[in-house]
């Protein structure tokens, strides 16, 4: 029972996006959403059984010049995704995500969390609209 509680808030390696083909497909045909300080690109894809989505966390060198700052931002973004994963809209299909930091400096965690929640709301709104058009 206790194990199931902790499983909801995990971000295991199998959920990390690593395949070059997936990255290429995502950036050539993916749909995007921006909500400062993040942007999200996503596509539907065939993944392994039991996975809902694979996620890439990106903090570009253009925005954050120091590797220390980029690594800190990626840690914070992974934590935001991990903790808010149960609140993400379930579209019923497997997806690939690319979550990118758009800012040019470090921000406090509360600001990042507010921006991430706004991004998730925008994602849910867009996905519902897309799924309604498909029907």
Q: List the domain boundaries for the chain.
A: 12-134
pTM: 0.89
Residue 86 DSSP one-character state: G
Write out pLDDT tens, residues 87-130: 899 888 999 999 999 999 999 999 999 999 999 999 999 999 98
Please count the CA atoms within 13 angstroms of the CA of 127 that sit on its side-chain side: 20
Residue 110, C-beta contacts closer than 8 angstroms, at least 6 positions apart: none
- CATH number, span 12-134: 3.30.230.10
In this structure, are residues 55 and 26 in contact, taking their beta carbons and an 8 Å threshold? no
Tokens 């979550």: give the residue. 99
């Amino acid at each position: 029972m206790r194990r199931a509680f902790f499983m909801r808030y995990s971000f295991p390696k199998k959920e990390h996006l690593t395949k070059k083909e997936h990255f290429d497909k995502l950036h050539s045909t993916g749909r995007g959403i921006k909500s400062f300080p993040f942007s999200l690109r996503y596509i539907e894809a065939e993944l392994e059984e039991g996975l809902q989505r694979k996620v890439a966390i990106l903090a570009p060198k253009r925005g954050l010049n120091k590797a220390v700052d980029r690594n800190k931002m990626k840690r914070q973004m992974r934590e935001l995704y991990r903790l808010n994963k149960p609140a993400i809209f379930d579209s019923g299909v497997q997806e690939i995500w690319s979550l990118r930091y758009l800012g040019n400096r470090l921000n406090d965690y509360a600001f990042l969390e507010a921006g991430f929640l706004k991004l998730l709301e925008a994602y849910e709104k867009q996905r519902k609209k897309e799924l309604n058009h498909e029907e």
